[in-house]
Chains A and B, each alone.
Chain A
Amino acid sequence: MNLLVSLFKTSIGKKFLMALTGLVMVGFVTGHLVGNLQIFFQPDRINGYAHFLQALGPVLWAIRLFLLVCVAVHVWAAVALTLESRAARGPEAYAIKKWLSATVASRYMRLSGIVVLAFLIYHLAHFTLGVAQPGTFKTALPEWKMLEDAREFGFPLAAKGDVVHDVYSMVFLGFANPVVSIFYIIAVGLLSVHMLHGIDSLFQTIGWRSAKWSCLLRKVALVYCIVYFLGNLAIPGAILTGIAKPAVGTYAAQKLAASPAATSSAVQP
């Protein structure tokens, strides 16, 4: 039997693909959050980091393509498995439906998944493609001139004097809109719930879970998801409440100072 065909056709094969792509995405969202938290430092940090990513060129595209394939396979497997499972119940549903041991997160995987997918599309349109809020997209903002050399673990990201996109201002202006921020918070909340079952489940699917440490696994997943949610909440939360204010001299600071009352007007093109 051809390996790939089996993985895409059999029940356990599809679950395995779902678990692998899920694991890749968990890795990605973790790294993505850590990168984004640099918004709380000087603008040089996140702008230098974004510049570095952009400068990867074809490598960046390879990574993007790989992640897109992962999302596509994950969603395809979710739909295929769900349709098969629906059909498997047979012509008649139970009159009384009871949950006995399933965790709450596990009961809403499809719902949380769909909201996350909708959010993902919006999020890419917002910060990657620039079609959701073209007025505050990085290419529409004045460019940022690096004040210092930016380094990560000693690795140079951007040099002093480099002229780069002002991602820092884009994020501040984007999240100044309460609707955008609240959708973001709801979506990352549901993503955290999705991952709460997902992380537990993927170990079972790959065959690495047993009663000996299943309790620990659930606790680790819970702590991870809480930390992930709080980390993500911090960005729109701090911007929306004004706890985090854009650094003096940035475009976002000028723009928000010009219209402090109606923050949402700042995002109008």
Chain B
Amino acid sequence: MVAEHSVKKNFSVTLRVWRQAGPNQPGKFVDYPATDISPDMSFLEMLDVVNDGLTKIGDEPIAFAHDCREGICGTCSCTINGKPHGPGKGIATCQVYMRSFGEGDVIVVEPFRARAFPLIKDLVTNREAFDKIQQAGGFISVRTGAAPDANSIPVPKEDADLAMDAASCIGCGACVAACKNASAMLFVAAKVSQLGLMPQGQPERDKRVLAMVKTMDEAGFGNCSNQYECSAVCPKLITHDFIARMNRDYLAALFRSNFKPVSGASDGGA
């Protein structure tokens, strides 16, 4: 594959990029030619090259977020030709290569669009809302002290595998960006399930799902309409089965929290 493509000649495309100087400022699409692009460049390298050119002529470079550039941090986020993370399946923007495009293509690059992800500049959005959701319950409370023996808590292999699938979420926000309702259900479902599937996650299971969904609602995300656009763009291919699982978990927790007897301990009982 690589050999076949590496003989391909360099080519040129037109970038149509959303430029916006800052929050609450007017934004617009601006066209930039990207010439003499190697098909083996990554999409972000191509943006670097275009930015070098802009800097040389004294223009403001295109702001885009990136960090690991190997698909594990979830920082790079933009919508390329109407699809978050661009062409390809199970990859992040940083793993898109220019060989996915052809000579003369117009590539439209937009930021992730969601009210809960306010725009900072150009293609950079503030995805703090995800951190808030995590802080509401995406953890387990443990007492520090001597570390328990490894494997002292048995975990069924299937549960461990499933929890690992959920845990592969890198929190990039593509699920929100792809959803027609800007819903964060896939993200929250992955985070809820990751812990809810493990024995260590059980004590706070109900509290966790109730608190994380509450924080999700408060952040201004939309509502899931079960169309599964989210899992179709997830760079980690996290399945929307986790959403069904979270719905079940949430409803059970909601009913339990209303019918569970309340202990008198806080009033000084035994």
Contacts and interface: CB of A to CB of B under 8 A. Distances in A.
Nearest to A9: B217
Given A10-B213, A11-B213, A85-B183, A211 B222 contact: no
Given A85-B182, A94-B110, A204-B226, 19 more contacts: A1-B210, A1-B254, A1-B258, A11-B183, A11-B213, A11-B223, A11-B224, A12-B213, A12-B246, A85-B183, A87-B115, A91-B115, A99-B229, A100-B229, A100-B232, A107-B227, A201-B225, A206-B247, A206-B248
Given A85-B181, A88-B182, A88-B220, A211 B239 contact: yes
A99 B214 CA distance: 28
Interface of A: 1-3, 6-7, 10-16, 81, 84-103, 106-107, 109, 197, 200-201, 203-211
Interface in B77-113: 79, 81-83, 108, 110, 113
A93 B228 CA distance: 20
Interface of B: 18, 27, 29, 79, 81-83, 108, 110, 113-119, 178, 180-183, 210, 213-214, 216-217, 220-229, 231-233, 239-241, 243-251, 254-255, 257-258
A12 B114 contact: no
Contact of B227 (A10, A95, A106, A203): A106
B225 A94 contact: no
A207 B254 contact: no
Given A94-B79, A94-B82, A85 B222 contact: yes
Contacts of A100: 83, 178, 229, 232-233
A10 B254 CA distance: 11
Given A11-B217, A102-B228, A84 B223 contact: yes
A207 B249 contact: yes
Nearest to B118: A90
A15 B227 contact: no
B247 A205 contact: yes
A85 B227 CA distance: 13
Contacts of B217: 10-11
Contacts of A12: 213, 246-247, 250-251
Contacts of A103: 227
A89 B227 contact: no
A101 B213 contact: no
Contacts of B233: 100
